[in-house]
Amino acid sequence: MVSAYGRRFYATKPELAAHRIEAIGYQVGHQLIERYTMERPRFNDHLEVIKFICKDFWQELFKKQIDNLKTNHKGTFVLQDNNFRWLTRISIDPSSDNNDGSQGSSSEATNLLLYFPCGIIRGALSNLGIPCAVSADSSNLPFCSFMVRIKA
Amino acid sequence: MIACVAVVGHQNNPLYLQSFTGADDALKLHHIVHCSLDVIDERVNNPKRSVITLNESYLGLLYPTESYKVYGYLSNTKVKFLVVTTDLDVKDTDIRSFFRRFHAAYVDAVSNPFHVPGKKIISRIFAARVSGIVKAFAPGTYG
């Protein structure tokens, strides 16, 4: 799906493809969270919601929990996954090792792929009443970290 | 006898309202459902520590009027489910299981990729399932 959007539909405008993929992830996260929070009692605060995302939600999606959670207690959380399931089979192009600022094609594909889980996290959190912005960082495959910034 | 069921979104926008009385009193039921929303907000924002724990999804009897009773249920995503019933004595367990089935049907309806979140639910399968749940409920209260 990601490659269809990246190469065919928006071949000349990767920013638009990224936005669309993130929007699809948003809707998926929105609907999934409705299903997975059905049986649970209500959450008390933001930290409980993030912990739910790290444990139960991630477990349902990727069959493992988030390995590391960091926060600055001011509304920013970093979720680290040591072995992100969707990136384990991505081939790393050796020629992109000596790039300094220029994007190899493999890292571009990885970035497009990462917009989808960012959207899922954003959709899940906003359906639980927490507007936020999510960005991903994958400098060291398959280790991956997602930074969640809660708005206001 | 269940008079109507309603689903209201987290911005208090109506997502689904279905009446089962056969009479043409949709407006009156709209009003009753709207008043009950205020009761829900009150319960959520000022929790009475002796009665309700903060984590309960099921809110119980909200609003007894002269001929109706309204029961409420709040999901984690702030979606409110309301049931208006004319029964005099309804067992708590029956209503709880009704809400569980209602919530399951709602989750299935919302998972439809063609459904726009925030708009009304127009799925006919959802309407059929809800009618089925309501019909299954009525005889159970006498059992």
**Is residue A55, in this structure, part of any structural domain at all?**
yes
In whole angstroms, how far apart are CA B60 and each of A118, A129, B44, B70, B121? 37, 23, 12, 8, 25
Q: Which residue has the tokens 């959450």?
A: A43
Instruction: Say what the pLDDT of residue A55 is.
Output: 86
pLDDT the model gives residue A100: 42
Q: Would you call B77 and A42 a contact, using CB atoms and an 8 Å cutoff?
A: no
Outline where DSSP puts E strands in A41-87: 68-71, 76-81
Q: Is A31 an 8 Å CB contact of chain B?
A: yes
Between chains, do A41 and B103 touch, taking CB under 8 Å as contact? no
Structure tokens at A91: 């081939």
Q: For residue A85, what is the domain's CATH number?
A: 3.30.1380.20
Q: Is the pLDDT of residue B60 over 50?
A: yes
Residue type, A102: S
User: What pLDDT does A8 receive?
Assistant: 67
Q: Classify residue A103 by its DSSP letter.
A: P
In which band, very low, low, confident or very high, does the pLDDT at B139 lie, cut at 50, 70 and 90?
low
Q: Is residue A127 part of a domain?
A: yes
Min CA distance, B141 vs chain A (Å)? 24
- Residue A114 in any domain: the answer is yes
User: What are the tokens at A30?
Assistant: 């929105």
Q: A17 in a domain, yes or no?
A: yes
CB contact under 8 A, A37 and B113: no
Q: From the CA of A3, how many Å to the nearest CA of chain B?
A: 20
- Residue A90 phi, psi dihedral angles, 5° rounding: -80, 135
Average model confidence (pLDDT) for chain A? 80
Query: Among A44-58, A111-125, B35-49, B105-119, which is the least confidently predicted range?
Result: B35-49
Question: What pLDDT, on a 0 to 100 scale, did the predictor assign at position B142?
Answer: 43
Q: With CB atoms and an 8 Å threshold, state whether B76 touches A40.
A: yes
Residue A78 within any structural domain of the chain: yes
Domain assignment present for residue A64? The answer is yes
Q: What is the share, in percent, of chain A residues with pLDDT greater than 70?
A: 85
Give the rounded percent of residues in chain B with a pLDDT score beyond 70.
Answer: 78
Contact between chains at A27 and B117 (C-beta distance less than 8 A): yes
User: Which residues, 6+ apart, have CB-to-CB distance to B21 below 8 Å?
Assistant: B1, B3, B4
Shortest Cα–Cα distance, B50 to chain A (Å): 18
Q: Please name the residue of chain A whose CA is at the shortest distance from the CA of residue B75.
A: A38
CB atoms within 10 A of CB B89: 7
Of A10 and A111, the structure prediction assigns the larger pLDDT to A111
Range of the domain at A85: 2-93+104-150
Q: With a cut of 50, say whether residue A25 has pLDDT above it.
A: yes
Residue B47 DSSP class? -
In a domain, residue A98? The reply is no
Domain tally for chain A?
1
Give the global pTM.
0.79
In a domain, A41, yes or no: yes
Of A87, A88, A101, A119, the C-alpha closest to A18 is: A119
Phi-psi region of A99 (alpha: psi -120 to 50; beta: other; left: phi over 0): beta
Please give the pLDDT value at position B51: 38
